[in-house]
Amino acid sequence: MTNKKQIRRAALLLACLGAAFAGLGYRLVDLQILCHDELRERAEQNTQREIWRTPRRGDILDVTGNILATSVPVKTICADPSLIGNLQPVVAHALAPLLQMNESDLTIRLTPRIGRNDKGETVTNGLHYVRLAKNIPEDTWLKIAATMSDLTFGIDEKKLSRDNRAFLRNLREHAVFSEPDQMRVYPNGALASQVIGFPGKEETPVGDHVLAQIVGRDGIELSLQKQLSGVAGWKLTEVDRRQRELVAQRDEDVHARNGLDVVLTIDAAVQHIVETALAEALQKHTPKSITGIVMRPSTGEILALASLPNYDPNQPNTITPETRDRVITDVMEPGSTFKIVVVSGALNNGVVKLTDQFDCEHGHFAFAGRVLHDAEPHGILNVEEIITKSSNIGAAKIGIQLGAQNLYDYAWNYGFGQRTGIPLPGEARGFLYPVKDWSKVSIAQIPMGHGVAVTRLQMLYAMGAIANGGWLMRPMIVNRLQEHDGSVVQRYAPERIRQVISPKADAEIIEALKTVPTKQGTAPDAALKNYVVAGKTGTAEKVEHGAYVHGKYVASFIGFFPADNPQLCISVVMDEPKEGYYGGQVCGPVFRDIAERCASYLNIPPDANLATNSPALAVESRQHKF
């Protein structure tokens, strides 16, 4: 009897145990097989972290290594309002001074706003977090983190329940956090701002993350965006319960490839000289804008390129359409500076010689139903004097003698009507109409710089070709690309485009251009004490709504020195100057100021024939004893 009862009990126990094991077994199958994918995903969400590594944007340097643009690591401060509960005022009171924010505004931002996302999940503030402040320095973030961890709420936490203590601990540790970011900084402020450009921010969604990246909006920042930006890296790792990384569990660890440094041909010191001189002229003549460019004619390297008004890329609110880079984006009728094209072309073709004489009709020349004028009446002038006095009628007659097709060809060969290829965005082509579209008077107007539209850069490079033995060079503004340690990745070499005129014709036009910065010429104020200057003035009436506007001028002077061994070619252009409007009158002194200071900085040897009044003769005479 007992045995049967015992057997029954044992069977019952066995059945219970069997059922329990069966249930357990089912649960195991459920967890390990049926719900495997879902649970695995949840486990990975809890432990696995994919951390993106933003590449450091490359620096922009000048040719001597001065930093013109750099990236500084900063923090974006974020908060998870769902972890703050109803303690926003306390947190806001602690953080507002550090974030330099209004306390009440911060309180509102820390208040959770409940909503649902696309998947129907309840989320706080759309992204689970709010951004409180951007571009916060690392030191400030450390202070914020310390403030949060020392936060007290005026209560004895030992008396609180375990859950409440965990809530407060979580608030201190995780409610406010930072994301790594970088900020573009321009240590020299507005210096060369139009060349460098300015940055913007772009956020690219990568998986569940948003990868914030600096992108260029103008200048070199835009045109060399790919080289500057680098490639992002990532880290696939696991974290423990307290969100500390378990380094041994790292699956993938790919470092970001930082962007390359761009070394410009710009020399910050020369740029500063140019901008200072332009700023002084801007104050004196109050033009709408003033531009200055300094280039080496033998290589096409641009040492300085400035356009005022300009902007400070550190302060985006200073960027307006008025602060654009007018050197490459704006076109204008060049005026008399264009005479170098027709005269050099005619000399090259052998159509004229420097000594050939032309009747300048005492300032009035009727041609094709129009009357051309000179600024001052001239009688008989030879070709050199036409350049010296800048006679429109003389230039028109040389143009007529050269012929329309030849004139067009020379203008095209000097680079007008086409982009120079400078690696800056927004370069204009200008206008150079084909001969078939010319009117009857075009052959007389174009030689004096009317009926064509050029950029300031095109005009400078045409003059640069004359300074360079007739060879037109490609503008160079980027010297090389390099790694941050200085190892060169790519070096850019000077590029000859074409020989426009022969060396003989080139020497002749230079002789003519030497007479411009003299007392007999149109730019006596452009002459330098220790160097022979060759250059050309230009004064063009502005065109508005298809008609010339009397009283509004674009004044310019483009010159190079030393004339017989040109080291620098400089262009100064003013748009609507006051207190004078002739190119030689308003731009000549600015040219001289820039040239003298650049010559001193670059240590350009003075012309021997002008250096006879040297005060250092006693010292120099000793050199013969060596």
Partner 1 sequence: MAKNRKNQAAAIRFGPALKASFLCLLIGGSGIGFVWEKGQNYQLGQQIHQREVRLNRLQADNKQLDDQIAFLRSPVMLDRRVKELQLGLAPMTPLQVVRLVEPIAPPPTSNPPRQLVQRTGSRRTP
Smallest distance from partner 1 to CB 26, Å: 31
Cβ closer to partner 1: 91 or 268? 268
HEC profile for 228-244? HHCECEEEEEEECCCCC
Q: Is 486 exposed, middle or buried (0-12, 13-18, 19+ CB in 10 A)?
A: exposed
Rounded to 5°, the CA angle 82-88-90 comes to 135
Integer Cα distance of 247 and 325 in angstroms: 50
Q: Least distance (Å) from partner 1 to the CB of residue 601?
A: 7
Place of tokens 């028109």: 396
Rounded Cα distance between 283 and 337, Å, is 25
Residue matched to tokens 């007739």: 470
Cα–Cα dist 14/11, whole Å: 5
Q: Which residues of 65-100 are buried (b: 16+ CB within 10 A; e: fewer)?
A: ebebbbbeebbbbbbbbebbeebbebbbebbbebbe
Residue closer to partner 1 by CB (options 547, 619) is 619
Select from 415, 389, 407, 390 the least CA-distant residue to 352: 407
Q: Where are the alpha helices (DSSP H) in 150-297?
A: 162-170, 193-196, 219-223, 225-229, 268-285
Closest separation in Å from C-beta 558 to partner 1:
22
C-beta of 222 vs 598, nearer to partner 1? 598
CB 398 within 8 A of CB 346: yes
Residue 302 C-beta: closest distance to partner 1, Å: 17
Residue closer to partner 1 (CB basis): 1 or 619: 619
Query: Can you name the residues that pair with 296 across neighbouring β-strands?
Result: 301
Q: What angle do CA 396, 453, 580 make, to 5 degrees?
A: 75
CB burial of residue 10 (10 Å; 0-12, 13-18, 19+): exposed
Q: Which residues contact 361 (CB under 8 A, 6 or more apart)?
A: 393
Q: How far is the CB of 68 from partner 1 (least distance, A)?
A: 9
Angle between the 392-402 and 339-349 helix axes, to the nearest 10 degrees? 40
Name the residue nearer to partner 1 (CB basis): 276 or 499.
276
The amino acid occupying position 76 is T
- Least Å distance, CB 491 to partner 1, is 22
| Beta carbon of residue 346, minimum distance to partner 1 (angstroms, whole number) | 35
Neighbouring CB atoms inside 10 A of 538's CB total 30
Instruction: Give the pairing type, strands 130-136 and 67-79.
Output: antiparallel
Residues 340 and 509: beta-carbon distance below 8 Å? yes
The residue among 497 and 599 lying less far from partner 1, judged by its C-beta, is 599
User: Is residue 289 classed as helix, strand or coil in its secondary structure?
Assistant: strand
Q: Are 185 and 70 in contact (CB under 8 A)?
A: yes
Q: Coil, strand or helix: which one is 268?
A: helix
Output 110 or 534, the one with its CB closest to partner 1.
534
d(CA 214, CA 202): 6
Angle at 114 between CA 111 and CA 115, to 5 degrees: 145
Beta-ladder partners of 541: 553
Query: In terms of CB distance, is 33 or 608 closer to partner 1?
Result: 608
| Radius of gyration of the CA atoms of the chain, in A | 37
Answer for the pair 575, 287: CB distance below 8 angstroms, yes or no. Answer: yes
Least separation in angstroms between residue 98's CB and partner 1 is 19
- Contact criterion met (CB below 8 Å) for 94 and 147: yes
What pairs with residue 210 in β-bridges? 205
- Min dist CB 270 to partner 1, Å, is 9
Nearest to partner 1 of 518, 530 (CB atom): 530
Minimal distance in Å, beta carbon 616 to partner 1? 6
Q: Least distance from C-beta 27 to partner 1, angstroms?
A: 28
The least distance separating partner 1 from the CB of residue 190, rounded to whole angstroms, comes to 9
Interface with partner 1 (CB under 8 A): 66-67, 70, 72-73, 138, 185, 187-189, 191, 244-248, 268-269, 271-272, 276, 529-531, 596-597, 599-601, 603-606, 611, 613-616, 619-620, 623, 626
Question: Between 271 and 445, whose beta carbon lies closer to partner 1?
Answer: 271
Q: How far is the CB of 246 from partner 1 (least distance, A)?
A: 6
Cβ of residue 603: shortest distance to partner 1, in angstroms? 7
Least separation, in Å, of the C-beta of 369 and partner 1?
53
Shortest CB 120 distance to partner 1, Å: 37
User: Cβ distance 59 to 70 under 8 Å?
Assistant: yes
What does 211-231 look like in DSSP terms, one character per residue?
EEEEEE-SHHHHHTHHHHH-B
| Cβ-contact 127, 106 below 8 angstroms | no
